[in-house]
Structure 1
Amino acid sequence: MGPQRIVCLTEEPTETLYLLGEQDRIVGISGFTVRPAIARKEKPKVSAFTSAKIGEILKLRPDFVIGFSDIQADIASALIKHGIEVWISNHRSVEGIVDYVYRLGALVGASDRAGALVAQLEQRIADARERAAALPRRPKVYFEEWDTPQITGIRWVSELVGIAGGDDVFPEHAAMSLARDRILADPLEVVRRAPELILGSWCGKKFRPEQVTAREGWSEVPAVRDGELHEIKSPIILQPGPAALTAGLNALVEVIQGWAKRRAG
């Protein structure tokens, strides 16, 4: 049977449970949830990312709470002190996202459906790799998660850029799980690494290419010179759930394939 009353502190468990047809188990969600859209209409919102309404969560009588990352450790601790079972996943890679779907499916007794969903996700990845292999050249890509300070892409984002056909210009930063460890100490390092594509995904706000092109010294960056600055919507790429492997990967493929066609033309 598994848990029957689940509170999801982030979007990825909500999205995954809906995809598995197990949404009736969900009794509370994160206020930042956007996928699926119906969840915002059907489920009470009881948490942000670094904070939660502990009292409201307890009123929902959950038998299982799912969160993500060490950043939610204080929320998890508060709930555990009230006798609530809590699972905090901490995956940061594409493989980790796939494994997350498997594990969550098993927890709710939906292993077969989780396996089918994983097969679909893996096929999408394989298809993207095949398209990338046909590119005449891979672009150098700078992915920016935040503008002030400038923060580079996390591991699963960097990996998805690679799957879609690009090469992350800051692969060493991608290995750092915490955003503070991916802050660019010297923004001119972007200039030196000369990305041909700049992808912006400013979490919670709109990407402003004109602000990027106006940065001191950045006029020499190939992506700036050629007008190759593109937004990847943060809800589809910065959550380590199925959306990143579907809509997020699709957006990356579209931008990179478009870049290749413009270079060929």
Structure 2
Amino acid sequence: MTDAFPQRIVCLTEEPTEVLYALGEEHRIVGISGFTVRPPRARREKPKVSAFTSAKIGEILALKPDLAIGFSDIQADIARELIKAGVEVWISNHRSVDGIVAYIRRLGAMVGAGDRAEAYAQRAEAHIAAVREAAAALPRRPRVYFEEWDEPLITGIRWVAELINIAGGDDIFPELAREPLAKQRILADGAPVIARAPEIILGSWCGKRFRPEKVAARPGWAEIPAVRDGELHEVKSPIILQPGPAALFDGLDALHRIIAAWAARGPGRRTGVAR
């Protein structure tokens, strides 16, 4: 019987690749994002044909895709070029934890793997519930500042803020987390961070190494509890800044480990290292 579902998929971002591999549907993928790191074998097996804001349109068309999958308004220009060339394109725009889980279900349905996608989504939901329950047992909740970029300062997107909450912390910029675009989450300077006195600072600088010593040296930041106590930590961007399974599993676990360790140390006790 002829397979009625897409046979040649180009994944313009990381999360569709991770989901399709997890569902056992990787044979449908003919091209991936150059930023893909999960699963590691994808980089060995699939040609890399896109970045996030740019793509090798000619190379994509040479792969004869019957579907291209991307994410957000940032990939609108790529989508436009592919649509003009006759390629069917799906651009998701989910920004929340619930949206990520729903994305797994939708993508699974699109490739005829609805049952496996449902099981995978339920695994994610069970993991979220287990971490939430563990977080509820912590003796205290920290105020958390998540920094997505340093020049300019950009605060965390909605799913990151929600995962911080699930992991046992409170994001200090909940009003900005609701803003879908990075430019809407830019801080003019560090004064609002100082004023909100986070007890943990998390950095995930979108692909470049987080430098806690540079953060600690910012004017006025020495008085922030997180800086004073050495609570500056990196969360690697591949596990937190892509709206896919990585954030719900490894990203959430990383957040909870940091927060649980802080809660166990007690007020005002230094970690001894900034990492």
Same fold, judged at TM 0.5 (above): yes
Q: Distance in 2 between matches of 1:42 and 1:214?
A: 43
Find the counterpart in structure 1 of residue 182 from structure 2: 179
Matched AA of 2:139: P
* Percentage of matched positions with identical amino acids: 73
Of 13, 29, 46, 2:32 maps to: 29
Q: Distance in 2 between matches of 1:212 and 1:231?
A: 12
Q: Distance in 2 between matches of 1:202 and 1:58?
A: 32
Of 211, 231, 239, 1:228 maps to: 231
Q: CA deviation at 1:222?
A: 0.3
Find the counterpart in structure 1 of residue 256 from structure 2: 253
Find the counterpart in structure 2 of residue 53 from structure 1: 56
TM-score, normalising length from structure 1? 0.99
Q: Deviations over 1:25-73 (max 9, x none)?
A: 0000000101111000000000010010111001000000000001100
* Count of residue pairs brought into register by the alignment: 265
Structure 2, gaps ≥5 residues long: 270-275
Find the counterpart in structure 2 of residue 146 from structure 1: 149
Matched, 1:122 2:125: yes
Find the counterpart in structure 1 of residue 10 from structure 2: 7
Q: Deviations over 1:150-183 (max 9, x none)?
A: 1000000000000000000000110111111101
Matched, 1:67 2:89: no
Matched, 1:135 2:138: yes
Matched, 1:17 2:6: no
Find the counterpart in structure 2 of residue 76 from structure 1: 79
Q: Distance in 2 between matches of 1:195 and 1:10?
A: 32
Matched AA of 1:66: I
Q: CA deviation at 1:136?
A: 1.2
Q: CA deviation at 1:186?
A: 2.9
Q: Distance in 2 between matches of 1:91 and 1:228?
A: 30
Find the counterpart in structure 1 of residue 207 from structure 2: 204
Find the counterpart in structure 2 of residue 85 from structure 1: 88
Find the counterpart in structure 1 of residue 272 from structure 2: none
SS at match of 1:216: coil
SS at match of 1:67: strand
Matched, 1:240 2:206: no
SS at match of 1:92: coil
Matched AA of 2:246: A
Q: Distance in 2 between matches of 1:132 and 1:185?
A: 33
Matched, 1:191 2:188: no
Q: CA deviation at 1:185?
A: 1.6
Find the counterpart in structure 1 of residue 112 from structure 2: 109
Contact 2:153 2:189 in 1 (8 A): no
SS at match of 2:148: strand
Find the counterpart in structure 2 of residue 156 from structure 1: 159
Q: CA deviation at 1:263?
A: 1.1
SS at match of 1:162: helix
Q: Distance in 1 between matches of 2:189 and 2:213?
A: 20
Structure 1, gaps ≥5 residues long: none
Runs of 4+ in 1 over 3 A off after TM superposition: none
